[in-house]
């Protein structure tokens, strides 16, 4: 895509691109540190190359015109080639199933035969409908509707314990479509469900357009906090993405947008707050408190969505870093109905961990950082075309598979875990995580090179021009995996449980689905005691959302029951976590 | 008041005055029939005098420049003297008392000590307040409020059976003022009550500004039905009047408008619908159905009132012609708590009649017409300066009293009833209501003159230039009184009750307060059996509204309990009403 951008004095090219809605990958949020926001300048004002660009781009790249959008400042006008973002990105939309869920949605239609007013029956128009709560606007429509129609349709959203919102009245019968949305930090998935038949009519995914403002939730929350305008911008982006996914799914199955009645959104707490336009500044700072906990519902137009008959529900969040997506995943895994203990781990920027059974649960969030999502990893990327997703090292050989085939351009989370596990196995990395040139098996010596003053290991033999694992990358993985491992251990301690009591380890999320379980155990990310009980559940949050939208009781369970029987453990407040965190830093299965 | 008005082609001077908000009395709604919208044209385009003006204005008046605003059409520009409207109008604001009502208002203030978020207590901001329902907008304010304040105030409106609306959160403590409003068709009364002490801080009244669009509810409903713009115009007028009365009362006692928390409005069903901006077109046509029955509450700004912290509640209506004012009056008379039967009659354009006791009630509305309010009566007016309010006739003499003293300019309802009663007594009117020239006692002969082809009786001796009772006026009174009398009888029949079982006859409204009870019985308006049990209760609707705003249980009683134990009888659907109506047409006490 080639476009022309104009930036006035002091404004970065990135800022202009953001404003004009050009998708841009910027995991560091524009802090000149990740090098992912590269664009090719074809013509325009000549702006000196910054130190950061020299560090993050190769000489050849600079010569070709590649620059970092965050480092090019106006005044100036440039003709820019923007690389197609996240080409062939894998978004996990499978996983579990909501097919078995009994169809009994909160979104209901009542067809009411209107008895015409007579002198003997001069009830008010509102009374002719029964006990529905109507807004003043709906009441204003009533007189004509009542008199011009034999029957009317009332659309309501009702759970057992909650008359959820004001109902909508209409003369024509519309469909009953539900959209379950998983608002991920990186990727968003949406499912269109016919709530009359239970059939899933479509599925769509999109990269979260907020990623131009940072790959992780913190950068986005920080950005949103700067001004009301920023907050509104992030809200608009995610709202538009939900709308566009919905439109796409509707188009594919030939349904009308007026049939959409309920949109149920889950996501982490910050995503939910950004979606609702609520302050996120206090979630990112200790003691990490959200504005809302219990889910709520508003009319779609209050959220800026052009879906006249729809209500939008935001799921309940447990704490600042255990969100509605976690509750939906727990729902999808039926953890509350199990007799034996089960563990659920969802690894993203934060690793949300839940342990429990029918008697109760504990949960926590371990700040794993975005290493497994490719950020902060020199050659890292999400699971997309050109990314190495699996690696084998042995007998002096490095073999790998590349998503979409072709030349390797990056390495995604599952590839990274494989690479580290294999490097440990092959003695390339020692137990402390060091790539030790002195002890390196000689058959791998030609793959070693120096990168920014530290050793790095080339996977494709092209050293810094190819895909490699730098020492710093190993450190990032060590930090990430020890956070998760320590989090799991804290919850086990909280429950006073031993691993042999844990029947299942549900591994949620895209990363959990693609990861090689053996490698995950090998690097100490997951406990070896549970190696044979690991069950990848894919996008369990999406599955839970679909269940909730199909069944009012399940929605109630996720929104009201689960959060009441789930105790949140704040890791940063616990001394034992710090200790375990350091302890788990080492590599090797014996650490668990 | 002298003003210049400009009307384009085909637009009446009345229409221009309405648009520009100039108060104008127009009981007939601009149908060229009442002659009340007179203005004096001082200069401007010469427009031919219409037939209606010739009929409704005297030659002298026309010579002086008096015209009917409804009959002067543009194009043209005129300098107009607008007579001060309803000068010295008596608005009934007394009557009964709400002083004894236990202070326990639905409008509550909770002061909540905010426990600051800590790692051990990282509840969401919303949870720190407890179980209050907040709108998304209020939630958006929370994070800052929670962190910047030691305590917060939550303002809610709560009845036992109903979490009435979303609450408001504030850092500063505001007062708890309530405004009870009786939206009468002709006059509006408002009471400012301190809901912390129960003290009534003020009282205000205003003519209903909608009266430029007709004196009766039907003309206004018809006008509102013509277009959405018309409907909005009438709504704006009454909303502004409530606002201005509130502002005036606040100013007088030095309180701030941000302290106003609850505005409780009662009025007849059409007034309530016009206030809410709801369709009135079906109330005026058989089977007379309103849009809403059970009361509801909205934020004041949704009604267009600039009272940031206030909610507006509209009272429950029983039927198209038995409104929230009747329920409030029944509440004020404690009819539901009485062991013996009582009757309540509120005479306005419609006579609302309620009969019952603790076991249940029946009610109806008799279309009395606006005779007792002065409309359709040649010299009629409301109770205002210059109006004859009491009349004695005897020994060839006619004596009367004039409101505000001075020369008699008109006759109000109580004067009219007196005049008719005395005319019957003196043999000026026979039993059939005829002013019979042939049988007229000769001492009154000089007061008789011909008016529009029928006999008329002069009260002040000035014939058509003074105040008189025309034959047609007597007919209007006959129709009005027989409607009320027949309505009372139908309810008695419904209950199978005899008059000796009825302990009290509450006479509500301004007219009921000023009327001479003996005269009312003499003309057959009220049953002679109850003559000694008539209790004028003044503005009982206003009293009921004050009680409801001071006590949540009483509000609930008026809004939920009373309407459920009150059966509405539609008179137009009953053959016995027609019969009784004709029967009661005659004058004389024996008719009851």
Tokens of B42: 């001082």
Cβ-defined contact of A122 to B292 (cutoff 8 Å): no
Work out the percent of chain A whose per-residue pLDDT is above 90. 69
Under the banding of pLDDT at 50, 70 and 90, the label for residue A491 is very high
Question: What phi, psi does A238 have (nearest 5°)?
Answer: -75, -35
Task: Please indicate whether residue A349 or residue B96 has the higher confidence score (pLDDT).
Answer: A349
Task: Identify the CATH number of the domain in which residue A283 sits.
Answer: 3.30.420.480
Instruction: Check whether residue B301 and residue B209 sit in a common domain.
Output: yes
pLDDT attached to residue A96: 59
pLDDT at B224: 95
pLDDT value of position B591? 45
What letter does residue B322 receive in the DSSP assignment?
Answer: B
Are the beta carbons of A136 and B277 separated by less than 8 Å?
A: yes
CB A290 to CB B125 under 8 A?
yes
Instruction: Name the residue facing B119 among A117, A302, A570 (closest C-beta).
Output: A570
Half-sphere exposure of B369 (CA within 13 A, CB side): 16
CB-based contact A124 B573, cutoff 8 Å:
no
A543 and A563, same domain (yes or no): yes
Note whether residue A86 is domain-resident: no
Q: Are residues A448 and A351 in the same domain?
A: no
Q: Given CB atoms, is B560 within the 8 Å cutoff of chain A?
A: no
Q: Given A473, A492, A520, which residue is the final one in a domain? A: A473
Residues of A with Cβ-Cβ distance to B319 under 8 angstroms:
122
A570–chain B Cβ distance below 8 A for any pair: yes
The answer to whether residue B88 scores a pLDDT higher than 70 is no
pLDDT for res B91: 65
Q: Is the same domain home to A482 and A356?
A: yes
Whether residues B153 and B196 fall in one domain: no
A317 touches chain B (CB under 8 A): yes
Decide if A126 and B276 are in contact by the 8 Å CB cutoff. Answer: no
Taking an 8 Å cut-off on Cβ atoms, the answer to whether A568 and B292 are in contact is: no
Q: Residue A120: which pLDDT band, with cuts at 50, 70 and 90?
A: confident
pLDDT bracket for residue A310 (50, 70, 90): very high
State mean pLDDT over B175-193: 95
pLDDT at B25: 79
B133 inside 8 A of chain A by CB: no
Summary mean pLDDT of chain B: 91
DSSP for A185-214, written as a single string: SSEEEEEEEETTT--EEEEEEEE-GGGGG-
Cα distances from B139 to residues A253, A519, B574, in angstroms, run 37, 45, 54
pLDDT of residue A97: 65
Q: Is the pLDDT of residue B93 over 80?
A: no
Chain B positions touching A140 (Cβ under 8 A) are 277-279, 291
Given an 8 Å threshold on Cβ–Cβ distance, is A144 in contact with B120? Answer: no
Cis preceding linkage at A30, omega within 30: no
Q: Is B123 close to A287, i.e. CB distance below 8 A? A: no
How many Cβ pairs within 8 Å bridge chains A and B? 126
Q: Which two tokens stand for residue B187?
A: 């006059």
A1, A18, A221, A551, B213 from A210: Cα distances, Å: 20, 9, 11, 31, 55
pLDDT band at A85 (very low <50, low <70, confident <90, very high): low
Last residue within a domain, chosen from B314, B347, B375 = B314
Choose the closest CB to A286 out of B119, B279, B573: B119
Stretch A117-145: mean pLDDT, rounded?
Answer: 90
Contacts of B302 in chain A (CB under 8 A): 136
Residue A92's pLDDT is: 63
Chain A touched by B130 (CB under 8 Å): no
State mean pLDDT over A110-136: 90
> The CATH number of the domain where B40 resides is what?
3.10.20.30
**DSSP H stretches of helix in A399-539:** 413-425, 471-495, 509-514, 517-522
pLDDT of residue A349 exceeding 80: no
Residues A306 and A185 in one domain: yes
Give a yes or no: residue B236 inside a domain.
Answer: yes
Give the closest of A288, A291, A320 to B142, CB-based: A291
Neighbouring C-alpha atoms within 13 Å toward the C-beta of B200: 19
Average pLDDT for residues A77-90, to the nearest whole number? Answer: 76
Residue of A nearest to B302 (CA): A136
In a domain, B495, yes or no: no
The residue among B126, B291, B316, B320 with the most chain A CBs within 10 A of its CB, best to mutate, is: B291
User: Does B122 contact A298 at a Cβ distance shorter than 8 Å?
Assistant: no
- Which of B127, B134, B143, B363 should we substitute to test contact with A (largest number of A Cβ atoms within 10 Å)? B143
Distance from B401 to chain A by nearest Cα, in Å? 44
> Is A303 in contact with A554 (CB distance < 8 Å)?
no
Q: Which helix (H) or strand (E) holds A63?
A: helix A59-64
Place of tokens 């949300």: A352
Q: Which residue has better confidence, A333 or A24?
A: A333
DSSP reduced 3-state for A77: strand
Quick check: B291 and A125 CB within 8 A?
A: yes
- The answer as to whether B480 is a domain residue is no
CA quadruple B145, B150, B154, B155: dihedral sign: negative
Nearest chain A residue to B297 by CA: give it: A136
- Round the average pLDDT of chain A to a whole number and report it: 91
Whether residue A517 sits in one domain with residue A458: no
CA distance, residue A573 to nearest chain B CA (Å): 6
pLDDT tier at B119, thresholds 50, 70, 90: confident
Residues 103-122 of B with CB under 8 A from A: 117-122
Q: What percentage of chain B carries pLDDT values higher than 90?
A: 70
Name which of A294, A298, A570 is nearest B122 (Cβ-Cβ).
A570
Residue A162 has pLDDT above 70, yes or no: no
CB within 8 Å: A126 and B292: yes
In angstroms, rounded to a whole number, what is the distance separating the alpha carbons of residues B149 and B134? 18
Residue at B259 is within a domain: yes
Q: Are residues B154 and B190 in the same domain?
A: no
B186-228, pLDDT tens digit by residue?
889 999 999 999 999 999 999 899 988 988 888 899 999 999 9
* Terminal CA-CA length for chain B: 49
Measure CA B10 to chain center: 33
CB contact under 8 A, A319 and B122: yes
User: What local confidence, expressed as pLDDT, does residue A592 receive?
Assistant: 47
pLDDT of residue B590: 47
Q: What is the mean pLDDT of residues B252-264?
A: 96
Residues B126 and B200 in one domain: no
Residue B318 confidence (pLDDT) above 70: yes
Q: Is A472 helix (H, G, I), strand (E, B) or coil?
A: helix
A-chain residues within 8 Å CB-CB of B136?
276-278, 296, 298, 302
| B408-436 pLDDT, tens digit each | 999 999 999 999 999 999 999 999 999 98
B293 contacts in chain A (CB < 8 Å): 123-124, 126-127
A313 contact residues in B (CB cutoff 8 A): none
**Is the previous residue joined to A209 through a cis bond, with omega within 30 degrees of 0?**
no
In contact, A315 and A563? CB cutoff 8 Å: no
**What is the extent of the structural domain holding A562?**
334-369+477-591
Alpha-carbon distance of B166 to B131, in angstroms, equals 11
The beta-carbon neighbor of A140 closest among B147, B278, B287 is B278
Instruction: Assign residue A552 the CATH number of its domain.
Output: 3.30.420
**pLDDT of A571:** 93
Q: Give the residue among A375, A382, A333, A372 at the shortest CA–CA distance from A355.
A: A333
Q: What tens digit of pLDDT does each residue of A545-560 get?
A: 999 999 999 999 999 9
What value does the mean pLDDT take over residues A478-503? 96
Residue B317 near chain A (CB below 8 Å): yes
Mutate to test the interface with A, among B132, B165, B289, B293 (most CBs of A within 10 A): B289
Q: What local confidence, expressed as pLDDT, does residue B94 receive?
A: 61
Query: Structural domain tally of chain A?
Result: 5
Using DSSP, state whether A505 is helix, strand or coil: strand
pLDDT tens digit sequence for A559-578 = 999 999 999 999 988 889 99
Contact call for residues A353 and A484 (beta carbons, < 8 A): yes
Calculate how close chain A gets to B439, using CA atoms only, in Å.
45
Final residue before a domain boundary, out of A137, A170, A203: A170
Band of pLDDT at residue A368, cut at 50, 70 and 90: confident
Q: How confident is the model at residue A208 (pLDDT cuts 50, 70, 90)?
A: very high
Q: Select from B287, B291, B320 the Cβ nearest to the Cβ of A142.
A: B291
Whether residue A155 lies inside any domain: the answer is yes
Give me the mean pLDDT over the A192-199 stretch. Answer: 96
For residues B294 and B187, state if they share a domain.
yes
Q: Tell whether B137 and B35 lie within a shared domain.
A: no
Distance CA B320, CA B330 (A): 17
Q: Do B122 and A291 touch (CB under 8 A)?
A: no
Contacting B residues, span 188-247, partner chain A, CB-CB under 8 Å: none
Q: Does residue A88 sit within a domain? A: no
For the CA atoms of B5, B6, B7, B13, what is the dihedral angle to 10 degrees? Answer: 10
- Chain A residues with CB under 8 Å of B127 CB are 293-294
Residues 255-284 of A with CB under 8 A from B: 276-279, 281-282
Q: Do B119 and A287 touch (CB under 8 A)?
A: yes
pLDDT in tens, B509-532: 888 888 999 999 999 999 999 999
Q: What percent of chain A has pLDDT over 70?
A: 96
Task: State the smallest CA–CA distance between residue B273 and chain A in angstroms.
Answer: 10
> Is residue A157 domain-shared with residue A237, that is, in the same domain?
no
Shortest distance between the Cα of A240 and any Cα of chain B, in A, equals 19
Shortest CB distance from B289 goes to which of A125, A319, A573? Answer: A125
Q: What is the pLDDT of residue A545?
A: 97
- Residues of chain B positioned with their CB less than 8 A from the CB of A279: 140, 142-144
pLDDT at A33: 80
Residue A91 lies in a domain: no
């Amino acid at each position: 895509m080639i476009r022309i951008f104009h930036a006035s004095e002091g404004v970065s090219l990135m800022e202009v691109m953001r404003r004009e809605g050009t998708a841009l990958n910027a995991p560091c949020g524009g802090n000149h540190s990740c090098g992912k926001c590269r664009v090719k300048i074809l013509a325009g004002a000549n702006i000196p190359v910054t130190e950061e660009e020299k560090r993050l781009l190769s000489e050849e790249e600079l010569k070709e015109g590649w620059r970092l959008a965050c480092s090019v400042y106006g005044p100036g006008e440039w003709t820019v080639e923007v690389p197609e973002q996240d080409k062939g990105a894998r978004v996990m939309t499978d996983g579990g199933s909501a097919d078995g869920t009994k169809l009994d949605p909160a979104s209901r239609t009542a067809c009411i035969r209107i008895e015409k007013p007579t002198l003997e029956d001069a009830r008010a128009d509102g009374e002719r409908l029964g006990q529905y709560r109507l807004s003043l606007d709906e009441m204003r429509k009533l007189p004509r509707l009542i008199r011009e129609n034999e029957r009317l349709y009332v659309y309501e959203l009702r759970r057992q314990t909650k008359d959820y919102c004001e109902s909508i009245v209409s003369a024509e019968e519309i469909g009953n479509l539900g959209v379950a949305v998983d608002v991920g930090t990186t990727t968003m998935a949406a499912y269109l469900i016919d709530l009359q038949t239970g059939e899933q009519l479509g599925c769509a995914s999109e990269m979260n357009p907020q990623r131009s403002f940072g790959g992780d939730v913190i950068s986005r929350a920080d950005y949103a906090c700067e001004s009301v305008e920023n907050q509104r911008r992030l809200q608009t982006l995610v709202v538009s993405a939900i709308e566009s996914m919905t439109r796409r799914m509707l188009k594919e199955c030939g349904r009308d947008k007026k049939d959409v009645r309920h949109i149920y959104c889950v996501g982490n707490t910050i995503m939910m707050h950004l979606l609702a336009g609520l302050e996120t500044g206090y979630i990112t700072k200790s003691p990490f408190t959200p504005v809302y906990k219990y889910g709520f519902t508003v009319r779609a137009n209050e959220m800026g969505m052009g879906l006249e008959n729809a209500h939008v529900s935001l799921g309940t969040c447990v704490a600042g870093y255990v969100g509605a997506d976690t509750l939906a995943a727990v729902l999808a895994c039926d953890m509350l109905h199990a007799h034996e203990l089960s563990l659920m781990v969802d690894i993203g920027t934060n690793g949300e961990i839940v342990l429990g059974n029918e008697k109760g649960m504990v949960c926590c969030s371990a700040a794993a950082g975005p290493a497994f999502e490719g950020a902060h990893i020199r050659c890292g990327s999400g699971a997309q075309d050109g990314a190495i997703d699996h690696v084998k090292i042995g007998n002096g050989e490095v073999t790998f598979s590349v998503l979409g085939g072709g030349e390797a351009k990056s390495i995604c989370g599952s590839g990274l875990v494989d690479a580290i596990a294999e490097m440990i196995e092959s003695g390339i990395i020692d137990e402390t995580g060091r790539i030790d040139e002195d002890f390196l098996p000689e058959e791998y010596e030609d793959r070693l090179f120096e990168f920014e003053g530290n050793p790095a290991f080339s996977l494709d033999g092209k050293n810094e021009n190819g895909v490699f694992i730098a020492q710093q990358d190993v450190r990032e993985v060590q930090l990430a995996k020890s956070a998760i491992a320590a989090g799991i251990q804290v919850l086990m301690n909280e429950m006073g449980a031993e691993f042999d009591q844990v029947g299942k380890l549900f591994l949620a999320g895209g990363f959990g689905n693609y990861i090689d379980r053996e490698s995950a155990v090998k690097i100490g990310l997951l406990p070896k005691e549970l190696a044979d009980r690991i069950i990848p559940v894919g996008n369990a949050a999406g599955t839970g959302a679909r269940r909730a939208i199909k069944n009012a009781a399940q929605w109630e369970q996720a929104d009201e029951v689960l959060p009441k029987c789930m105790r949140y453990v704040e890791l940063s407040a616990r001394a034992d976590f710090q200790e375990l965190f350091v302890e788990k830093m080492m590599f090797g299965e014996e650490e668990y």
